[in-house]
Amino acid sequence: MSYGEQAVGLAFNPSGDPQVKRIKELYAEIIDICNDNRLPSGILPERERLWSIAIKEAQGAQMWAVKAATWRD
C-alpha cells in the first residue's frame, strides 16, 4: 500500500460501500502527491511543513466525506 492508502485506511470499509472506496482512493492520491513533494532532501523546512499540513487536512477532509457518505437518518 502507498503512504496515502495507509493514511486513509483504504482497506477499512466494512460495509463495502463503493462511494466510500472511491472517496478514499481520491484522497489517497492527493496525500501521495503531497507526500512525494515533501520527501526530497534539501527541501525548505517551511515547504515540508506546508506539505505535512496539507496531508493532515486531507486526512480530516476524507474522514468527514466518509462520514457524510455513510450518514443514515
What are the pLDDT digits (tens) for 34-53?
999 998 878 899 999 999 99
Distance CA 31, CA 16 (A): 22
Residue 21: CA atoms inside 13 Å, Cβ hemisphere, count? 7
- Determine the Cα angle at 16 with ends 15 and 19, to 5°: 105
Distance CA 25, CA 39 (A): 21
pLDDT at position 22, please?
98
What are the pLDDT digits (tens) for 50-73?
999 999 999 999 999 999 999 998
* 8 A C-beta contact, residue 69 and residue 23: yes
All structural domains of the chain with their residue ranges = 16-70
Cα Rg, the chain, nearest whole Å = 14
